[in-house]
Amino acid sequence: MLQKHPERRTLAFLPLVEISKKFARIALEVGLMAEHVDGKDPDRIYKVDRFRQGEYQLLTNSQLLHTGFDAPCCSATLNLTPMFSSVRYQQIIGRSTRPLKGIVDNPEYNAGDRCINIALSDKPDAVILDPMFQFQEHGLMIPEALSASSLEEAEAIRKRRQRTGETNLGIAQRDYVLEKEQEMLARLEAERRERQKREEGVISVKEFALRTDNFPLANYVAVYSGEVKPLSKFDRLLLKQRGIDPESVTSRGECDIACRAVNIRRAHKLAEIPVVLELIAIGTTPKRAWMLSAVEAKRILKVHGLQ
């Protein structure tokens, strides 16, 4: 730091208060103007002000100045603390990435104007000193993270902006939230319809195929002219009687294979689909419910006062 960055005002983050104090002492011994500050230090406001005024080259702390601290003169951060949170890491390095006051404040500036003003200012850049190489995992804070509630949301908004070309962060976040609300409403409606179908004793053909390890049915694609025909009223009635939602079946060929699979279960004297759904509803695990015989299934339902 003394050899490569003597002109910078550096904020250092240490894992413990005692280590921060020791680090400040070592820095003083090698010739750096250094000071430690912590939450119990009665002179902390005075020390922070002196750092802001440029009287210290190095201010060390532990878990104190990662948020809510603004010192425009700070042009370097040194992180010596293991970081498991990307938010916390980005908060730390964000102490030095703020431009000087008045440099980018004009609302009429575009991105190019801001970049030029920063480059020509007394603080054209910032240095992130990261001896533990944590930057690769956490990275810099992206603009979307300024208003997003999580890094996942920020990344999603960023991808949406790249896709739509939206430059206004506020509009991009609003559109993202509205899109998520619509997705949630659609998911809730789908879940409601699914619950209603289960109450009627039917499930989708895909779920039936996967629950019973019927891979030909799960991956079925109609090919021949007789297979691709739409369902008739009789087909729909047949499927519903067997416990399969007719709306989930796309062709006559898929209907034939599904009904054949149910008939095979009947031949093996396994529980019917509506009975299986009742068993699951009273707490039987799906895996066991689909393997029970019709006789055993009826016995369990009888114990629970059901038919």
Distant-in-sequence, close-in-space partners of 164: CB < 8 Å, separation ≥ 6: 172, 175
Identify the pLDDT of residue 68. Answer: 67
- The band of 22, judged by pLDDT with boundaries at 50, 70 and 90, is very high
Report pLDDT for 139: 79
Q: Which pair of tokens denotes residue 75?
A: 């042009």
What is the arithmetic mean of pLDDT over 194-215?
87
Tell me the C-alpha to C-alpha distance, in Å, between residue 129 and each of 86, 220, 304. 16, 57, 66
Contact 261, 275 (CB under 8 A): no
pLDDT band at 66 (very low <50, low <70, confident <90, very high): confident
What's 271's DSSP letter? P
Answer yes or no: is pLDDT of 176 > 70.
Answer: yes
The CATH homologous superfamily for domain 9-141 is P-loop containing nucleotide triphosphate hydrolases (3.40.50.300)
SS3 25: helix
Please tell me the distance from the alpha carbon of residue 192 to that of residue 200, in angstroms, as a whole number: 13
Reported as a single tens digit per residue, the pLDDT across 84-138 is 877 788 888 888 888 888 888 888 888 888 899 999 999 999 999 999 998 888 8
Instruction: Name the 3-class secondary structure at 299.
Output: helix
Residue-level pLDDT at 83: 85
Confidence label for 17 from pLDDT (cuts 50, 70 and 90):
very high
CA–CA separation, 161 vs 144, rounded Å? Answer: 10
pLDDT tier, 65 (very low <50, low <70, confident <90, very high otherwise): confident
> For residue 146, what pLDDT is reported?
66
pLDDT digits (tens, 9 = 90+) for 129-175: 999 998 888 877 777 776 676 667 888 888 888 888 888 888 888 88
Alpha carbon distance 28, 33 (integer Å) = 6
Q: How far apart are the first and last CA of the chain?
A: 79
pLDDT over 70 (residue 15) = yes
Q: Across all residues in the chain, what is the average pLDDT?
A: 88
Region 211-236: mean pLDDT is 91
Distances (CA, A) of 199 to 44, 202, 210, 274: 65, 8, 20, 9
Q: Is pLDDT above 70 for 297? A: yes
Sequence spans of domains, the chain: 9-141, 142-190, 198-303
In tens, the pLDDT along 231-250 reads 999 999 999 999 999 999 99
Quote the percentage of the chain above a pLDDT of 70: 97
Residue 265 predicted with pLDDT over 90: yes
Q: Please, what is the angle between helix 151-164 and helix 169-199, to 10°?
A: 110
- Return the H-helix or E-strand segment holding 11: strand 9-13
